[in-house]
Amino acid sequence: MRVHILGICGTFMGGLAVMAKRLGHTVTGSDSGVYPPMSTQLQAEGIELMSGYSADNLSVKPDIVVIGNALSRGNEEVEAVLNQGLPYTSGAQWLADNVLQNRWVLAVAGTHGKTTTSAMLAWILECAGLKPGFLIGGVPLNFDISARLGESDYFVIEADEYDTAFFDKRSKFVHYRPKTCVLNNLEFDHADIFDDLDAIKRQFHHLVRTVPNNGLLISPAADQNLNDVLAQGCWTRQEKIGMGHLPETAWRAANVAAGETEFDVYYQSQLLGRVSWTLTGEHNVSNALAALAAANHVGVDPVLAVQALADFLNVKRRMEVRAMVNGITLYDDFAHHPTAIASTLKGLRGKVGQQRIIAVLEPRSNTMMMGVHKDTLLPSLQAADQAFIYLPEKMGWQIDLEGHAHVQCFNKLQSLIEALVMDVKPNDHILFMSNGSFGEIHLTVEDLLAK
């Protein structure tokens, strides 16, 4: 079969393309931004890429067109698909029909931590010899690929609540039909498609409705928003995770070291072992508990699972150390929601002690650009000694910096870079945070510091 993918260079669609190729299909695709590293990965698989969207791209005569959720009506290639009456589907639906059928799907949903938790879970299953398939919205450093078919019935998927396609406004995760389902956390986000928190809760409950009663739902005991979702109806066994002593908590972390670099893991009051790893932050402790609970559901020895976390290397752009220059450490992180920003900074603070932390932030997500989180953005930067925020004029909103002398805002990236390089000192830790490329700022700053 000839599969043509619109929006092929996104992480999700690119991973889907690789799996389609491995299944024996002839795969082509188009995107508005065809550039490395995704373009080179896809070309190495023998996938023909077309730069830009055009009706001419359909001359490959596809049997099915898979349309990414970034594509809308009015796009020339989308209009040509409709006008020519070609069969089309969404990425999530194609995955469900062609990869997930008759497999034990382990889905990881939530506002934060989906990518890291999915990567942890895939790694634990790999260490247990289960050779799982996976599709993750990032590149796990333990695998160095974002997707693979695997060699077993188990498939780990990052289950995104964003909408499926221009013709299917349900969240992508309702297509996956998981048997093991992690609900990491739930906050308001994606203000471009959800009117309010209740609208997101409704989609999460649609996911809950798809989990069979011989499956498992895993969620933090203390997350009230998720408890609200589950209170709407739940037909599946639940296991709760947490760092406290709530009586319903099955999986618990205790004796947590500064920076969360070490902690004990208990299951049903039994000590399984102590995790010692390179990750930081309370959010990653919670991610670990969720991954352990999910792996236990498919029969992985929990003691082995705890040991596997010691060798977990995280995901690219998740507190990734990009460089060390003249005693200055540069990190790249995907955090773009105030809760994630605060937790990431708190974890780094616990690790580096009194050494200076400089946070450099691009509020780039659709929700941030709409100004939804502008009032909680400054409090999220409290653990940083200095903070530099890139707010180009097109943002349409500004931040009141009164009482926040450690924060500076810039509407030109070059001005921010110049101020940052002037301010930095030996032993500082510079944390770049954005869900985009941020103009490759970390490379520019690394070069300037080296000089």
Is the model more confident about 288 or about 371?
288
- Rounded-to-integer distance, Cα 315 and Cα 312, Å: 9
Reported confidence tier of residue 367, pLDDT bands at 50, 70, 90:
low
Average pLDDT over residues 302-312: 96
Assess whether pLDDT exceeds 70 at residue 242: yes
- Inside any domain, residue 117: yes
Q: Are residues 229 and 298 in the same domain?
A: yes
Q: Are residues 138 and 170 in the same domain?
A: yes
- Inside any domain, residue 337: yes
Assess whether pLDDT exceeds 70 at residue 446: yes
Q: Are residues 252 and 115 in the same domain?
A: yes
Average pLDDT score over the chain: 91
From the list 87, 86, 72, the residue with the least C-alpha distance to 32 is 72
Range with the lowest mean pLDDT among 39-48, 149-158, 256-265, 392-401? Answer: 392-401
Q: What percent of the chain has pLDDT over 70?
A: 97
Quote the distance between the C-alpha of residue 315 and its chain's center: 9
Reported confidence tier of residue 442, pLDDT bands at 50, 70, 90:
confident
- Rounded-to-integer distance, Cα 383 and Cα 338, Å: 12
Q: Are residues 44 and 78 in the same domain?
A: yes
pLDDT attached to residue 370:
64
C-beta of residue 30 within 8 angstroms of C-beta of residue 71: no
- Inside any domain, residue 306: yes
Q: Are residues 107 and 255 in the same domain?
A: yes
- Rounded-to-integer distance, Cα 218 and Cα 181, Å: 6
- Number of domains comprising the chain: 3
Q: Are residues 82 and 133 in the same domain?
A: no
Average pLDDT over residues 383-388: 92
- Inside any domain, residue 169: yes
- Rounded-to-integer distance, Cα 306 and Cα 311, Å: 10
- Inside any domain, residue 95: no
Q: Are residues 359 and 266 in the same domain?
A: no
CATH value at residue 265 = 3.40.1190.10
Range with the lowest mean pLDDT among 89-98, 136-145, 355-364? Answer: 136-145
- Rounded-to-integer distance, Cα 33 and Cα 156, Å: 28
Average pLDDT over residues 81-102: 97
pLDDT attached to residue 37:
67
Q: Are residues 126 and 238 in the same domain?
A: yes
- Inside any domain, residue 97: no
Dig out the tokens for 191 from the structure. 């203000």
Quote the distance between the C-alpha of residue 83 and its chain's center: 35
Range with the lowest mean pLDDT among 252-261, 375-384, 393-402? Answer: 393-402
- Inside any domain, residue 8: yes
From the list 421, 410, 409, the residue with the least C-alpha distance to 446 is 421
Q: Are residues 264 and 286 in the same domain?
A: yes
Matching residue, tokens 């609200």:
228
Reported confidence tier of residue 351, pLDDT bands at 50, 70, 90:
confident
Q: Which residues contact 260 (CB under 8 A, 6 or more apart)?
A: 279, 280, 281, 282, 284, 285, 347, 350
Q: Are residues 337 and 387 in the same domain?
A: yes
pTM of the model: 0.86
Is the model more confident about 372 or about 152?
152
Residue 24: domain span:
2-90
- Inside any domain, residue 407: yes
Assess whether pLDDT exceeds 90 at residue 260: no
Q: Are residues 154 and 279 in the same domain?
A: yes
What residues form DSSP beta bridges with 30? 6, 50
Is the model more confident about 381 or about 401?
381
CATH value at residue 17 = 3.40.50.720
Dig out the tokens for 150 from the structure. 């695997």
Reported confidence tier of residue 394, pLDDT bands at 50, 70, 90:
confident
Average pLDDT over residues 246-251: 87
Last residue of a domain, one of 90, 124, 155: 90
pLDDT attached to residue 107:
98
Q: What is the CA radius of gyration of the chain?
A: 22
Average pLDDT over residues 69-83: 96
Q: Are residues 119 and 57 in the same domain?
A: no
pLDDT attached to residue 451:
81
pLDDT digits (tens, 9 = 90+) for 195-239: 888 999 999 999 999 999 999 999 999 999 999 999 999 999 999
